[in-house]
Amino acid sequence: MTDNRPRVFSGIQPTGRKTLGNYSGGFRQYVQTQEQGDAFFCIVDLHSITVDYDPTELHESTLDLAALLFASGLDAERSTVFCQSHVTAHAEAAWLLSAVTSYGQLGRMTQFKDKSAGREFVSAGLFTYPVLMAGDILLYQTDLVPIGDDQRQHLELARDVAERFNHRFGETFRIPEGVFPEIGGRIMDLQEPTKKMSTTLSSEQGAVYMTDPPDAIRKKFKSAVTDSEREIRYDPDGKPGISNLLEIMSVATGEPIAELERRFAGAGYGEFKEAVGEAVVELLAPIRERFEALRSDERELQRLLAVGAEKARRVAEPTLEAMYERMGFVQVEAGRLFGAARPRGL
């Protein structure tokens, strides 16, 4: 049976606590896109070793993330959820694709500049990170990549790499398109609303974590930085604090921003911030409850990840095979598990 639905692929790093930003640009979109296509969601553990990390913590946070993905609504029957390190094709594809990735373009990646700034030790992996990400996407002959705004530049690089490979070695990859949220593509830090809410760079008060208890969430919104002019109006350049809160409220309740502006016209900042906090508590509390239940059954999580890895391997291997073949590597009989298969659409 051929599946004509679009292929969906996205990845998310296991290290660090997942924020409301990750929910808005990531989780929320994963759950929506699993309805539209044949979806693959990858816990990108290989990406997480590109900055300083703790091996014990990586192990725990990988299982945390698996539980959180299912808790937020991914359905193991419909979506393939798996760990990047369980599908060796990812690491291999990254090396092969590095042949068609430009050093100059990698140096222009803003995430590399942000994460390497002021650090004494910058790993080679942090620099080549986008090549691994390109491989993630391209191995699955992906049509749609649901991501937040901060991944735009990396997706553009993946498209360039695919085109260069296709041009140099013959049509091998589909060219993927990004899927970005209309509202909430870039949730900002509650304390510094001109900066992105980030797992690694935000302060404890500036970031809302998906597993924060309700009272912690309320407190963070109460102390969120707002603007001097007391008017609840959406204007990201002039009023970044209030605009961010309006976006968050819209993400949490599904109400359009214009409607929220009308509803809170004349309200004080204190009242508005409290309402946003309550909306986020309502959004995250059930996810947190499901997370606690799923996380306590580690064997079941590992079983689900094993099923996901098996499905992912079956799809990724034929593409990897085609890459080796087209790049001129010698093939041997039965040398590779899925040697006879062809990538989807080729």
Task: Kindly list the residues in this chain that would bind ligand TYM in the complex (CB under 6 A).
Answer: 9-13, 21-22, 24-26, 44, 47, 133, 136-137, 145, 147-148, 150-151, 154, 185-187, 196-197
Toward ligand TYM, which CB reaches closer, 188 or 322? Answer: 188
Cα 67-71-77 angle, rounded to 5 deg: 90
Count how many Cα atoms sit within 13 Å of the Cα of residue 289 in the half-sphere of its side chain.
7
* 25 DSSP β-pair partners: none
Which residue lies nearest ligand TYM, judged by its C-beta?
25
Q: Min. distance of Cβ 149 from ligand TYM in angstroms?
A: 6
Query: How is residue 5 written in tokens?
Result: 């639905």
Sequence-distant (6+) residues with CB within 8 A of 220 are 190, 205, 208, 212, 277
CB of 10 to ligand TYM, least distance (A): 4
Instruction: Give whichever of 197 and 280 is closer to ligand TYM, judged by the CB atom.
Output: 197
Nearest distance, CB of residue 259 and ligand TYM, angstroms: 22
Rounded to a whole number of angstroms, the minimum distance from the CB of residue 187 to ligand TYM is 4
Q: For residues 133 and 249, which CB has a smaller minimum distance to ligand TYM in the complex?
A: 133
Cβ neighbours of 63 (radius 10 Å): 18
If one counts every other C-beta atom within 10 angstroms of the C-beta of residue 21, the result is 27
State which residue, 198 or 331, has the beta carbon closest to ligand TYM.
198
CB of 188 to ligand TYM, least distance (A): 7
Q: Where are the beta strands (DSSP E) in the chain?
A: 7-12, 38-43, 80-83, 144-146, 177-179
CB of 1 to ligand TYM, least distance (A): 26
Give residue 207's Cα distance to chain centre.
17
Closest CA to 22 of 33, 32, 12: 12
Decide whether 11 or 318 has the Cβ nearer to ligand TYM. Answer: 11
Q: How far apart are CA 73 and CA 147, in angstroms?
A: 17
DSSP label at residue 7: E
- Closest CB to ligand TYM among residues 59, 262: 59
